[in-house]
C-alpha cells in the first residue's frame, strides 16, 4: 500500500508542479545584456519648456511699441525637425540598467513682410545633447518589459539669427547647458526586436516618445 500511495503522491506532484513551472518559464523575461535603440519624441523637448520658442528676439518683445510694430508688420512660418534619439542600454540584472543616448532637435523661423510677402529674416536653433541615465525595470515578462529612468547630461546649442531686413548676415551664438530627462513609465514589447513607448518630461521630450530597438 505504501508504494502505491507514494506513486500517487508523486503523480499528483508532477501534474501540478510541472505545468506550473512551464507557465513560469513562459512568463520569465529572456534577459539580453545589450540593447541598441532609436526613437523620436512626439512632443519635442525644447518646445515643452514653458516660455521657450524659436524666433528672433525683436519679435519676442511684444510688450514694447517696437515689438508690437514688428509683429504687425511681419508674418512668420515656424518649422521643427522634431527630436531624434539613438542610444545603448546595458542590463546588469533583470532590474537594474545603465542607459546612454544622444539626441538632436532643430527649429527655424522665417519672417516675411505682410504687405508683399518678401522674405525679411530667418533664425535657426539646434540642440545636440548627450545623456547618461539610471534605469529600473520593474516588470519583466517574456514579451513585455516596463521601466522607469532618470538621466543627466549636456546640451550644445547652436543659434543663428539674421538681423531684420538683412537676410544672410547672421549673428551666431554657441551655448552649453545641462540636460535632463525623467521618464516615470515606459513599456517595451518584443523579444530580440522590440518597440517601445515612454511618458516623461525633460529636454529630450515632454509627453510621449516612441521607437524601436534590438537586444543581444
Comparing CA positions, the residue from 188, 213, 211, 208 lying closest to residue 198 is 208
Q: What is the mean pLDDT of residues 107-120?
A: 79
Whether the predicted pLDDT of 197 surpasses 80: yes
- pLDDT for the residue numbered 127: 87
- pLDDT for the residue numbered 144: 95
- Rounded to whole angstroms, the Cα distance separating 170 from 107 reads 16
Mean pLDDT of the chain: 77
- pLDDT for the residue numbered 114: 78
Strands (E), the chain: 34-41, 74-91, 96-113, 119-140, 144-161, 171-190, 193-202, 207-215
- pLDDT for the residue numbered 148: 98
Whether the predicted pLDDT of 95 surpasses 80: yes
Q: What is the mean pLDDT of residues 161-176?
A: 72
Q: Are 38 and 212 in contact (CB under 8 A)?
A: yes
Whether the predicted pLDDT of 151 surpasses 70: yes
- pLDDT for the residue numbered 177: 87
For domain 31-215, the CATH architecture is Beta Barrel (2.40)
How confident is the model over 5-62, as pLDDT tens digits? 444 444 444 444 545 444 444 455 567 899 999 999 876 555 444 334 433 333 444 4
- pLDDT for the residue numbered 46: 53
Comparing CA positions, the residue from 117, 43, 50 lying closest to residue 83 is 43
Whether the predicted pLDDT of 184 surpasses 90: yes
What element of type H or E holds 3?
helix 2-27
How confident is the model over 63-76, as pLDDT tens digits? 444 555 566 677 77
Confidence label for 115 from pLDDT (cuts 50, 70 and 90): confident
Neighbours of 95 (CB within 10 A): 13
Q: Per DSSP, what are the bridge partners of residue 99?
A: 89, 133
Whether the predicted pLDDT of 163 surpasses 60: yes
Amino acid at each position: 500500500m505504501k508504494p502505491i500511495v507514494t506513486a500517487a503522491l508523486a503523480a499528483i506532484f508532477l501534474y501540478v508542479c510541472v505545468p506550473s513551472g512551464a507557465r513560469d518559464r513562459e512568463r520569465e523575461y529572456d534577459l539580453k545584456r545589450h540593447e541598441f535603440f532609436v526613437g523620436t519624441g512626439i512632443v519635442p523637448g525644447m518646445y515643452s519648456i514653458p516660455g521657450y520658442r524659436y524666433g528672433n528676439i525683436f519679435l519676442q518683445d511684444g510688450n514694447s511699441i517696437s515689438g508690437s510694430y514688428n509683429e504687425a508688420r511681419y508674418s512668420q512660418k515656424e518649422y521643427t525637425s522634431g527630436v531624434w534619439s539613438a542610444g545603448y542600454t546595458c542590463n546588469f540584472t533583470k532590474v537594474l540598467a545603465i542607459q546612454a543616448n544622444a539626441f538632436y532637435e532643430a527649429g527655424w523661423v522665417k519672417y516675411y513682410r505682410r504687405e508683399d510677402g518678401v522674405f525679411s529674416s530667418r533664425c535657426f536653433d539646434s540642440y545636440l545633447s548627450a545623456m547618461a541615465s539610471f534605469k529600473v525595470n520593474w516588470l519583466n515578462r517574456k514579451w513585455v518589459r516596463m521601466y522607469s529612468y532618470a538621466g543627466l547630461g549636456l546640451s550644445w546649442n547652436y543659434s543663428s539669427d539674421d538681423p531684420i531686413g538683412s537676410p544672410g548676415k547672421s549673428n551666431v551664438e554657441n551655448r552649453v547647458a545641462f540636460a535632463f530627462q525623467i521618464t516615470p513609465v515606459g513599456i517595451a514589447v518584443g523579444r530580440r526586436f522590440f518597440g517601445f513607448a515612454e511618458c516623461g518630461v525633460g529636454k529630450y521630450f515632454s509627453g510621449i516618445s516612441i521607437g524601436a530597438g534590438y537586444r543581444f
